[in-house]
Structure 1
Amino acid sequence: MDDQLTTVGVSLARSDERMLTGRNAAGRVWKTGFGGLDPQIGGGMRAGSLLLLAGPQGMGKSTFALQIARNNAASGRPVLYFSYEHDAEDITQKLLALEAGELDESDMVRVNNIRSIFDDLWVSSLEHRMESVPAGPEALARMQQYSDLLFLHRSTGTRTDLTAIQETIATVTEIAGSVPLVVVDYLQKVKSHQQGDEARSTEIVEGLKDLAIDIGAPVLAIAAADKEALRSGRRMRANDLRGSSALAYEADVVMVLNNKFDIVARHHLTYDLNNAERFKDFAVLSVEKNRFGRDGVVLQFRTRFDQGRYESEGAEVKEQLIDERVFVE
């Protein structure tokens, strides 16, 4: 029988087998590790689903995606991160800053500190160099525990197309012994064989969705915004994704990051000037589309970009945001 062809009876038998062996929940859902988000999207990122993460430039989309990748690798599951903008050493430095930032109670860790110890000319091991960073040795040890499960692919827009992505997933699956969570940073840079933004975006998003279903794992892709959506003070929404309408149509979950200060209603700033500085430290994550739960969920997370991370515990936004007519309760 064609391996693409099945029956409902076969599907029922496979589901029953997973439930009887206890593999159902663990095998079908990958947690993001961000408090408040997983329950809203069906318990986490579901097998066969395509999730898009969008937001204005500088809003930490790569940071958010990399943190999800790290959370999964740290839980013992393989992750494959296709990076079109950062090399492996840069990503490694951010991960070390993330780990040290979470561990250090003095709040002295900075990404720049980590980068400087990589660039210094004195001859010494990385382990010894990390001793100069608060919680550095502990951060390195924690990262080493999952380092062989987090695969980094240096991708380029001139050669890394959907076929290359598929072949790399197969390689990682063979090495790791199980299918990885796939992160694509970012979607519009995947090499396409089509002409024009709309046709290119359609080819890539449809291909990534098919890929997620075929491998039985989630694909998390960062999506760029139209230039019009990048104006300061404007709230980016799902319809601002750059390319075709297929982006929002094909995706199972669409999440958009915005800076809270830019999108909160003016009266929250007018009557409490202290809010202005406080809001700048928070990102608002809107779940704009959600096939596994309710959409319209709006959560806030404190940003710690100086440490290459977000604080993982989120809460629903209580303030009124621009482009909304009601308060979020």
Structure 2
Amino acid sequence: MTSAEPVGASVVSITGEPEFESRNRGRLRSLGDVLAETDEKLRQGQTAGARVWPTGFDSLDMALTGGFRSGELVLLGGPQGLGKTAMALQMLRNSVAANRSAVLFSYEHDAHSMLERLIAIEAGAIAGTEGVGLTKIRAGFEARHSRAKSMRERFGDTVGGREAVEALESYGQRLHVHNSSGMHTTLEEIRTAVMEVIASDGRPPLVLVDYLQKVPVAGAIGEEERVSIVVERLKDMALELGVPVLAIVAADKSSLVAGRRMRVNDLRGSSALAYEADVVLILNDKYDIVAKHHLVYHLGNAERFRHWVVMSIEKNRNGADHLELEFQKRFEQGRFEPEGRIVEEQLIEERVFQE
């Protein structure tokens, strides 16, 4: 198998440093080799099982028995504007803050936009709801007459801003951002870039693809064929390189109807999405999917439910599935409260109002 050409400076750490190198792995091994390798790891005091990357969302990690695993393909879907990118980026932040590495293939946003979001997420983690929000962070970067000569100075008078910048500086070399293109960032380039990060950091990263339907495939006839190829090869890459791949997935247009609950079969493109993935997480707005009686007989619930998102674990090969968790939105900071909890209210498949 021939690797794609190096991607060069398009792969950068969050602080702007280029990353290079690559490595190959043999595919055919006897069971005896696996046994010997496992014994050697145990003798050296190393873990012999899959590596685990905690998401930092406590109730989700509990359901996943620790977090995302090496070799897993995880899909995160949901309606537009519900915070899929925010949640995935928060998971990446949590991973690198826990001394792991990560790489983001961003087909939707540039590296500076990710930097703004990360400052807001970090400020929220440091100072809670009082932390500086995205609007003020963006205004701070856009101000032309500030005397501040650094990001620390620029956000020194905001709540949690200076500390957030310092935190990013502490783990910035472990978080890599690829400015991806729907025309040029192919599966081969993704694989090559991940191998470069592995060689540079000396350890496998958590990989985020935002989003799956944007990955180009040469010669694919239609979207269904293209999505099938992408999801199959991302799964192959996860197994080959020993990394977890988290891919954001767009919803089919027919599912984007108010009062309708989105499920795994509403993901856009191909039935291969559900078949190939190890974990499928679907986000829905809580207000849209709670049973009618929670709104009719408890009017105060309506506004409260709008501040929560429900995450359905539709598939989970290594833990609990068909589990409904909820997380509070903090969209002014581009994040969610990480604790979460199991949904207590009754949920519905579709909201049907009848006289």
Q: TM-score, normalised by structure 1?
A: 0.95
Displacement of 1:264 in angstroms is: 0.5
Displacement of 1:143 in angstroms is: 1.7
1:186, 1:294 → 2: CA distance?
Answer: 25
Which residue does the alignment assign to 1:4?
Answer: 27
2:238, 2:347 → 1: CA distance?
Answer: 33
1:137 aligned onto 2:162: yes
Which residue does the alignment assign to 2:262?
Answer: 236
CA deviation digits over 1:173-198, x for unaligned, max 9?
Answer: 12212121111000000111212011
- 8 Å contact 1:50–1:251 — kept in the other structure? yes
Match of 2:179 among 146, 154, 171: 154
1:40, 1:25 → 2: CA distance?
Answer: 22
Seen in structure 2, the aligned counterparts of structure 1 residues 26 and 302 have a Cα distance that, compared at 3 Å, is farther
- 8 Å contact 1:114–1:133 — kept in the other structure? no
Identical aligned pairs, as a percentage? Answer: 49
AA matched with 1:178: R
2:296, 2:54 → 1: CA distance?
Answer: 39
1:106, 1:292 → 2: CA distance?
Answer: 34
- 8 Å contact 2:127–2:159 — kept in the other structure? yes
- 8 Å contact 2:204–2:241 — kept in the other structure? yes
1:148, 1:261 → 2: CA distance?
Answer: 40
1:280 aligned onto 2:306: yes
Which residue does the alignment assign to 1:17?
Answer: 40
Higher mean alpha-carbon deviation, 138-147 vs 75-84, is at: 138-147
Q: What secondary structure is seen at the aligned counterpart in 1 of 2:172? A: coil
Match of 1:46 among 51, 69, 74: 69
1:27, 1:140 → 2: CA distance?
Answer: 33
1:26, 1:129 → 2: CA distance?
Answer: 45
1:25, 1:264 → 2: CA distance?
Answer: 43
1:226 aligned onto 2:252: yes
Which residue does the alignment assign to 2:292?
Answer: 266
1:67 aligned onto 2:117: no
AA matched with 2:198: T
1:312, 1:69 → 2: CA distance?
Answer: 13
Q: What secondary structure is seen at the aligned counterpart in 2 of 1:294? A: coil
1:106, 1:147 → 2: CA distance?
Answer: 24
AA matched with 1:155: S
Which residue does the alignment assign to 2:274?
Answer: 248
1:21, 1:238 → 2: CA distance?
Answer: 42
Within 5 Å, which residues of 2 pair with 1:168-187? 168-187=193-212
CA deviation digits over 1:270-307, x for unaligned, max 9?
Answer: 11111111100001000001110121011000010110
Displacement of 1:126 in angstroms is: 1.4
Displacement of 1:21 in angstroms is: 2.8
Q: TM-score, normalised by structure 2?
A: 0.88
Q: What secondary structure is seen at the aligned counterpart in 1 of 2:349? A: coil
Displacement of 1:20 in angstroms is: 3.4
1:114 aligned onto 2:140: no
Which residue does the alignment assign to 1:295?
Answer: 321
Displacement of 1:131 in angstroms is: 1.3
AA matched with 1:112: T
AA matched with 2:292: R
Count of matched residue pairs: 323
AA matched with 1:62: T
1:136, 1:304 → 2: CA distance?
Answer: 16
- 8 Å contact 1:205–1:246 — kept in the other structure? yes
CA deviation digits over 1:288-328, x for unaligned, max 9?
Answer: 0111012101100001011011100010001011129xxxx
- 8 Å contact 1:160–1:190 — kept in the other structure? yes
> Which blocks of at least 5 consecutive residues in structure 2 are unaligned?
1-24, 351-355
Displacement of 1:254 in angstroms is: 0.3
1:192 aligned onto 2:192: no
CA deviation digits over 1:212-264, x for unaligned, max 9?
Answer: 00001100000111001111111100010101100000000000011100111
1:95 aligned onto 2:121: no
> Which blocks of at least 5 consecutive residues in structure 1 are unaligned?
325-329
1:210, 1:319 → 2: CA distance?
Answer: 39
